[in-house]
């Protein structure tokens, strides 16, 4: 069948090729683990589906994260079982606390480190809950878990490294340089006195945010990739500063010659570093303290730094961490698991461990998804499909087998079926869960001792997991792209309040400003995902920066104030700004009062304060913390 015919049928040929390779590797992992005599060889096949990636760096890093997370989780699970001495209530509390902690950490860190944290959680649950009635077996079960995962990783690497593609550093560098070139064009136009398109600036900010959203996984698997991502992030932060300067109301104080501007314009596309350096030198020679000099210098240095991938000159940036969402993920996981565990303890259901395991997976790993409740609907369908085919395999196919090897071989067609499900547009969002649940339910032990009733109860227990997760994500701190945007926005307001409270010195302020620019990118990204107007996102970001600048001016001036009375008034204004999220209008009045109290010699600072007050009056919603966004 041709590629065109597959596409007409709804398949995506590149995904189908990858999925077929993965299914073959999963079958290989299953066979190898069985040949080694491991008790749960199906866990190796599950590991192949979980670890396989189309890019080489991602494959290596996710495999390492899976192995590390498995070891940590298995050790905790074994320790918990030994400590519990067979008491189910101790297991319930311990697993709920551990999964909550792992969900908290997984929502704070980035990339595959987050995956490793989540895996540590549910690996502990697998070791502690799957054979909870026999705590004397826990050591063997933990070792089996680690070894089966190791075999699965080896199988994934054997097949994956033969076909996985290398990462594309060139494209991401070109995108970053192209953004610098567009910004240079707008800077030249602004310095010429020509109007700059607001739509173009919003488009640039949106493109910067979209590029930033790809960087966490781009660094996977290589030291050079991590260096590149660090350099690109430094460049994107500098680009945000330039965009915000272009969107500000500040008129250029320095007029450059047509020769310099035309030279910068000619170089913009082919050599943005040279164009930025021309502008920086010209403005710096006229007034080295001008804000645009700093903006251009940082942008030029960061753009130029992309040309040296071997060097490591980019400063380490403070990146946004979702402390608010991490706390909520922890509480949601703990509440959901304690409720599920309470049902298990109250009913004494034999399949209660399976039920808690499914819930643990759903409430931990899906907490990092953009819209978990929406995703879990597809997960539930995939798990229903997986349990159905597991029952077909166990009760219609396995009875025909004459030995353990035939059980293993009989599983392989069902594993291979996961490939077309993974590659078809209608089923790809449920295919992963089909594969994982199918394998979770099929342990090829000979002779088979499980009864039909026991098999049906196990299937029901597994399906309860995504159902509980769906309810929990809808009722306990619901999260979606709008909620993630509000969490980032709340973090930015907190930053303003902390800045006003601490009056940070210049070195720390630079790091803080870079963090704020990174949060602006994330707010733009999530705001667009939530379909918020691009104009609102850009103007809100500018307003936040304007108030931040006013706080910095107030802090500097309060230190050198000519009288104690003025110093007290400025300090009082900073205290009012420390509560800007509660009452933006009152903070605006405080800024206006401070501006009126300054002398003629400080008219520049007074203008900055008045402009910030105007932003607070004009856009109070940008500064007000929503009640739903606070704990």
Q: What does the pLDDT read at residue 224?
A: 76
Range of weakest confidence among 25-29, 53-57, 264-268, 448-452:
264-268
Q: Which residues contact 2 (CB under 8 A, 6 or more apart)?
A: none
At 421, is the pLDDT very low, low, confident or very high (cuts 50, 70, 90)? very high
Please give the C-alpha separations between residue 383 and each of 170, 312, 377, 422, in angstroms, as whole numbers: 39, 46, 10, 14
Lookup: tokens for 216: 């966490």
| Lowest mean pLDDT segment, chosen from 40-54, 94-108, 317-331, 504-518 | 504-518
Rounded CA separation 616/493 (Å): 12
Query: Of 70-79, 571-580, 590-599, which one has max mean pLDDT?
Result: 70-79
C-alpha 621/C-alpha 618 separation (Å) is 9
What's the pTM?
0.86
Q: Is the pLDDT of residue 601 over 60?
A: no
**Mean pLDDT within 244-261:** 67
Q: What is the DSSP letter of 578?
A: T
pLDDT score, position 183: 87
Of the ranges 26-40, 232-246, 484-498, 546-560, which is most confident? 26-40
Task: Please compute the mean of the pLDDT values over residues 183-197 and round it to a whole number.
Answer: 79
Provide the pLDDT for residue 99: 96
Return the minimum-mean-pLDDT range out of 240-254, 412-426, 531-545: 240-254
Q: Is the model's pLDDT at 3 over the cut of 80?
A: no
For residue range 193-238, list pLDDT tens digits in order. 777 777 888 888 888 888 888 887 777 767 777 888 888 888 888 8
Spatial distance between the Cα atoms of 523 and 209, rounded to a whole number of angstroms: 8
Least confident of 245-254, 314-323, 525-534, 592-601: 245-254
26 confidence band (pLDDT: 50, 70, 90): very high
3-state secondary structure 412-479: HHHHHHHHHHHHECCCHHHHHHHHHHHHHCCCCCCCCCCCHHHHHHHHHHHHHHHHHHHHHHHHCCCC
Note the pLDDT tens digit of each residue in 501-515. Answer: 775 555 566 777 788
**Alpha-carbon span 573 to 20, nearest angstrom:** 64
pLDDT of residue 448: 82
* Res. 121: pLDDT tops 50: yes
Position 609 pLDDT exceeds 80: yes
Annotated domain spans of the chain: 169-305, 521-629
Q: Which of 220-224, 464-468, 590-594, 613-617 has the lowest mean pLDDT?
A: 220-224
Q: Is 195 exposed, middle or buried (0-12, 13-18, 19+ CB in 10 A)?
A: exposed
What does the pLDDT read at residue 150?
Answer: 94
Of residues 251 and 491, more confidently modeled: 491
pLDDT of 151: 95
d(CA 458, CA 357): 11
pLDDT in tens, 448-472: 888 888 899 989 988 898 899 999 9
Q: What are the backbone angles phi and psi of residue 11, rounded to the nearest 5°?
A: -85, 150
The overall average pLDDT reported for the chain is: 84
pLDDT value for 511: 77
Sorting pLDDT into bands at 50, 70 and 90, what band is 628? very low
Share of the chain above pLDDT 90, in %: 34
pLDDT, average across residues 611-622: 89
**Does pLDDT of 605 surpass 50?**
yes
Among 287, 244, 311, smallest CA distance to 514 is for: 244
Q: What is the mean pLDDT of residues 534-552?
A: 83
């Amino acid at each position: 069948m041709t590629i065109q015919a597959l596409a007409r049928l709804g398949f995506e040929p590149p995904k189908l090729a990858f999925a077929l390779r993965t299914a073959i590797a999963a079958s290989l992992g299953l066979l190898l683990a069985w040949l080694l005599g491991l008790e749960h060889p199906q866990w190796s096949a599950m590991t192949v589906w979980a670890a396989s990636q189309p890019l080489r760096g991602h494959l290596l890093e996710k495999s390492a994260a899976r192995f590390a997370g498995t070891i940590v989780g298995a050790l905790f699970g074994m320790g918990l079982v030994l400590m519990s001495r067979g008491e189910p209530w101790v297991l319930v509390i311990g697993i709920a606390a551990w999964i909550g902690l792992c969900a908290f950490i997984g929502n704070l860190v980035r990339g595959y480190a987050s995956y490793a944290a989540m895996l540590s959680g549910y690996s502990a649950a697998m070791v502690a809950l799957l054979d909870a009635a026999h705590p004397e077996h826990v050591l063997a079960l933990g070792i089996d878990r680690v070894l089966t995962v190791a075999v699965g990783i080896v199988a994934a690497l054997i097949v994956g490294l033969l076909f996985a593609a290398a990462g594309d550093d060139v494209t991401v560098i070109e995108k970053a340089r192209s953004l610098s070139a567009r910004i240079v064009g707008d800077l030249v136009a602004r310095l010429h006195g020509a109007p700059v398109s607001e739509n173009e600036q919003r488009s640039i900010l949106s493109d910067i945010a979209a590029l930033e959203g790809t960087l966490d996984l781009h660094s996977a698997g290589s030291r050079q990739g991590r260096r590149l991502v660090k350099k690109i992030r430094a460049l994107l932060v500098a680009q945000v500063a330039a965009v915000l300067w272009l969107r500000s109301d500040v008129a250029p104080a320095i007029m450059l010659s047509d020769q310099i501007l035309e030279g910068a314009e000619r170089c913009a596309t082919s050599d943005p570093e040279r164009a930025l350096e021309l502008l920086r030198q010209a403005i710096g020679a006229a007034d080295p303290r001008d804000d645009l000099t700093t903006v251009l210098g940082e942008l030029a240095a960061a753009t130029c730094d992309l040309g040296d991938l071997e060097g490591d000159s980019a400063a380490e940036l403070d990146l946004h961490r979702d402390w608010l969402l991490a706390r909520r993920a922890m509480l949601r996981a703990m509440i959901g698991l304690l409720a599920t565990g309470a049902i298990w303890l109250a009913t004494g259901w034999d399949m209660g461990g399976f039920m808690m395991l499914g819930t643990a997976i759903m409430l931990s790993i899906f907490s990092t998804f953009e819209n978990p409740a929406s995703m879990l609907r597809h997960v539930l369908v995939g798990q229903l499909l997986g349990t159905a085919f597991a029952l077909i395999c166990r009760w219609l196919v396995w009875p025909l087998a004459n030995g353990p090897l035939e059980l293993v071989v009989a599983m392989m067609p069902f594993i291979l079926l996961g490939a077309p499900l993974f590659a078809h547009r209608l089923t790809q969002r449920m295919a992963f869960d089909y594969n994982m649940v199918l394998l979770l339910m099929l342990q090829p032990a000979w002779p088979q001792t499980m009864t039909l009733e026991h098999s049906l109860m196990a299937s029901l227990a597994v399906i309860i997991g995504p159902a509980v997760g769906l309810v929990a994500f809808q009722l306990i701190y619901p999260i979606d792209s709008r909620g993630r945007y509000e969490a980032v926005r709340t973090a930015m307001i907190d930053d303003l309040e902390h800045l006003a409270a601490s009056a940070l010195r210049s070195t720390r302020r630079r790091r803080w400003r870079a963090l704020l620019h990174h949060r602006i990118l994330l707010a733009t990204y999530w705001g667009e995902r939530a379909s918020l107007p691009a104009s609102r996102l850009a103007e809100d970001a500018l307003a936040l920066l304007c108030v931040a600048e006013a706080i910095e001016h107030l802090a500097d001036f309060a230190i050198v104030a000519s009288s104690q009375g003025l110093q007290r008034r400025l300090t009082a204004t900073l205290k009012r700004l420390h509560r800007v999220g509660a009452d933006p209008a009152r903070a605006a009045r405080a800024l206006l009062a401070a501006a009126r109290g300054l002398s003629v010699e400080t008219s520049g600072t007074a203008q900055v304060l008045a402009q910030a007050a105007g932003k607070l009056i004009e856009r109070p919603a940008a500064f007000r913390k929503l009640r739903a966004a606070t704990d």
